[in-house]
């Protein structure tokens, strides 16, 4: 059942299982833009997911994407770029609430991501192809996350003067060892095996087996009581056989990454990565992205991961909201989007020429907003529950 009267950037369908229960399927349908997440898409997904959560006939929800190239390559930044330029030319270029579009987009995107993390029913996210930035934000909180042989996960925000948002402060801190920090600083892309190792995915299933998996969804004994277990067992029956030939740079270099990123200060960590002499092409690309990325983004990312280590998921989304709107005021984010997406010259002129030029006061300024202290109740995301852990479905196999 498609949402009548609304643009079809997201398609909705309900399939009836043999026992009468229904499977809700949401399909990102912006294939030409690699399913980049727009405000329109967020505004379609949010109410439909709420309806499915409240409908006892819906057993599980499936989140997938059209096309073979991408689940979602991130957020739709072109409109955001224009609004950042408009604010820079306005009478209030430093007003954190002066960009209405940015405020609306990030509030609703983060609210949607949080709902997925805390959804009361199983969500199967099929992450085929590119899964980056906002795409990871959609997928990270799903209870059952599938990666395929073509999946490529990355949080490359350092290349656009941003930081890994959409809950990145939460899930990067919960990866094994120091790989979350390494992936954030280098924007390194990883495949299915490493995504599972890094806790960004749960199952690797061949894309060719997707029709069989979806057909099997209609034959399961959904009851509303242990549907997470039913879905887990179904997915486990379709796992891709383990192969020693599969490239797994994260697990292969795990000890080295921990050694590099366990140094006590960010300059020491960055210098160690940049000084690394390796014939590993993946490590070389990671170092190259860090070298070309925004020094300010590196410093901000490091500060966020430290500040967010013991925060609840709700607190992290509220913190990221303030930080992201401050990013929209600063030159690096706008310049990074220009260089990578608008003009595509890949020659950004960052505010800081090196990490040594980034001051602590400059970084601390990103955490200042109008919703702190006595004004916390007015935060746009104040109503998110403040549980110390996301309300996740417990899976017993």
Query: Residue 69 is encoded by which pair of tokens?
Result: 């190239």
Q: Give the pLDDT confidence score for residue 6 in this predicted structure.
A: 46
Q: To which residue do tokens 């930080």 refer? A: 323
- Mean pLDDT within 319-335: 97
Active site residues: 75, 134, 157, 165
CA distances from 258 to 134, 252, 255, 261, 263 (A): 26, 12, 5, 5, 9
Q: Give the pLDDT confidence score for residue 245 in this predicted structure.
A: 53
User: How does DSSP classify residue 75?
Assistant: B
Per the CB < 8 A criterion, the answer to whether 104 and 83 are in contact is: no
Per the CB < 8 A criterion, the answer to whether 325 and 103 are in contact is: yes
Per the CB < 8 A criterion, the answer to whether 10 and 25 are in contact is: no
- Mean pLDDT within 5-30: 91
Q: Which of 121, 106, 203, 136 is nearest to 391 (CA)?
A: 121
Query: H or E element: which one contains 195?
Result: helix 192-197
Region of poorest pLDDT, from 11-25, 47-61, 233-247, 281-295: 233-247
Task: pLDDT band for 374, please (50, 70, 90 cuts).
Answer: confident
Query: H or E element: which one contains 124?
Result: strand 123-127
Answer whether residue 113 shows pLDDT above 70.
yes
Q: Give the pLDDT confidence score for residue 125 in this predicted structure.
A: 98
Model-level pTM?
A: 0.94
Q: Give the pLDDT confidence score for residue 92 in this predicted structure.
A: 87
Residue 17 CA to chain centroid, in angstroms?
Answer: 31
Q: Give the pLDDT confidence score for residue 244 in this predicted structure.
A: 54
Task: pLDDT band for 184, please (50, 70, 90 cuts).
Answer: very high
Largest CA distance in the chain: 63
- Mean pLDDT within 111-117: 97
């Amino acid at each position: 059942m498609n949402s009548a009267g609304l643009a079809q950037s997201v398609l909705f369908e309900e399939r009836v299982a043999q026992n009468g229960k229904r499977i809700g399927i949401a399909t990102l349908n912006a294939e030409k833009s690699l399913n980049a997440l727009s405000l329109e898409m967020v505004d379609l997904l949010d109410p439909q997911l709420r309806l499915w959560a409240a409908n006892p006939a819906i057993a599980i929800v499936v989140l997938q994407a059209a096309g073979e190239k991408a689940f979602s390559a991130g957020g739709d930044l072109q409109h955001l770029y224009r609004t950042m330029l408009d604010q820079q030319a306005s009478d209030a270029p430093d007003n954190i609430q002066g960009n209405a579009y940015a405020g609306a987009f990030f509030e609703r995107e983060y609210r949607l991501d949080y709902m997925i993390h805390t959804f009361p029913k199983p969500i199967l996210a099929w992450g085929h192809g590119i899964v980056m930035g906002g795409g990871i934000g959609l997928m990270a909180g799903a209870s059952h996350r599938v990666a395929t042989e073509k999946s490529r996960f990355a949080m490359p925000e350092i290349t656009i003067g941003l930081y890994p948002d959409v809950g990145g402060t939460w899930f990067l801190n919960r990866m094994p060892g120091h790989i979350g920090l390494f992936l954030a600083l280098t924007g390194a892309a990883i495949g299915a095996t490493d995504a599972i190792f890094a806790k960004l995915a749960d199952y690797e299933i061949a894309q060719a087996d997707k029709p069989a998996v979806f057909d099997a969804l209609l034959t399961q004994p959904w009851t509303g009581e242990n549907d997470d277990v039913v879905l887990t067992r179904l997915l486990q029956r379709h796992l891709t056989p383990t192969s020693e030939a599969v490239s797994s740079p994260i697990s292969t270099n795990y000890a080295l990454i921990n050694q590099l990123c366990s140094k006590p200060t960010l300059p020491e960590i960055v210098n160690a990565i940049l000084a690394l002499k390796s014939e590993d092409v993946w490590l070389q690309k990671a170092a190259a992205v860090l070298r070309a990325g925004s020094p300010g983004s590196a410093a901000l990312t490091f500060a966020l991961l430290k500040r967010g280590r013991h925060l609840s998921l709700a607190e992290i989304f509220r913190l990221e909201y303030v930080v992201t709107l401050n990013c929209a005021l600063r030159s690096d984010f706008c310049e990074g989007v220009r260089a990578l997406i608008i003009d595509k010259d890949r020659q950004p002129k960052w505010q800081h020429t090196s990490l040594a030029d980034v001051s602590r006061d400059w970084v601390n300024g990103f955490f200042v907003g109008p919703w702190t202290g006595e004004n916390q109740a007015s935060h746009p995301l104040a109503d998110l529950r403040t549980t110390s852990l996301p309300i996740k479905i417990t899976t017993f196999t």
